[in-house]
Structure 1
Amino acid sequence: MPENSPSRLDLLRFLENVQVRDLQRTRDWIATEEQHQALETARRPAPPPPEWLIEHGIGTGRLPARVHTGQCWDTRTHCKPATADQARRALAEGVSACPHCRPDTTLGLLDRGRHVRSRCGTRR
């Protein structure tokens, strides 16, 4: 090699610098694309809440514990969306109705001739 040409080590360091810049440019493109995707996701309307929820217990088997309307404030993390037919079926099979949102009343499953005791013990 002529005396004034760069050494092998200098050439390898130059190559490393080029690759580091290319890697940074690729990372910048990725970050830009992630921002675009986040904006697109934020622009999409949120899906409507489910009309009915079935709350499941914890542990093995996770059996249904209560039925709720979709707007109930007393739902927990173990709820799954349900159709009106699934909610009716669960109530008919003995799953408890939430005492706060009263899905059994909303679904028309209460016998209108029977009096139901409210939480304070008075008849309605």
Structure 2
Amino acid sequence: MHEELSSPQLEKLQFLHRVQLRHLEQTERWIDAELALLRERAARRPLPEGPTLVLSYLREGGRAVADSVHLGGCRMAAKHTKPLSGEQARRALAVDGLRACEICRPDAELGILD
């Protein structure tokens, strides 16, 4: 016959294990409830659309200097940006001589290619 091994220390550890499993299950229920709440809020409130085109500014000598034109979601744009209309972006690229981002290619989006 197989005898069950046991000791007071083993019983304490097994009890602790059961308690921790219950706590983990409760935490997982809380996480599921919070995720459901976040999904519900996100479904009710659409994300605002950002600007389609932006002018990126860099700091030179303590003042902001226009640097380049980017598509609105481009991560290569500087921290400071200003929304642009399509016409303003075309002017910035063609007349003002600002550069178009080589990553997001706003010039291609605007139909201005070199």
User: TM-score range, shorter-chain basis?
Assistant: 0.5 to 0.7
Q: Percent identity?
A: 44
Gaps of 5+ in 1: 1-41, 112-124
Q: What is the CA-CA distance between 1:63 and the residue it aligns to? A: 2.4
Number of equivalenced pairs:
71
Confirm or deny that 1:48 pairs with 2:34.
Answer: no
- Distance in 2 (alpha carbons) for counterparts of 1:66 and 1:81: 12
Structure with more strand by fraction: 2
Aligned match of 1:94 in 97, 103, 107? 97
Query: Over aligned residues, Cα RMSD in angstroms?
Result: 2.1
Give the structure-1-normalised TM-score.
0.50
Conserved 8 A contact 2:68-2:98 = yes
Q: What is the CA-CA distance between 1:76 and the residue it aligns to? A: 2.2
- Distance in 1 (alpha carbons) for counterparts of 2:73 and 2:80: 15
Confirm or deny that 1:69 pairs with 2:71.
Answer: yes
Structure with more helix by fraction: 2
Large movers: runs of 4+ above 3 Å: 42-46
From the CA coordinates, give the structure whose radius of gyration is larger.
1
Q: What is the CA-CA distance between 1:44 and the residue it aligns to? A: 4.5
Q: Deviations over 1:1-21 (max 9, x none)?
A: xxxxxxxxxxxxxxxxxxxxx
Greater relative contact order (CA < 8 Å, ≥ 6 in sequence) = 2
Gaps of 5+ in 2: 1-41
Instruction: Specify the SS of the correspondent of 2:104.
Output: coil
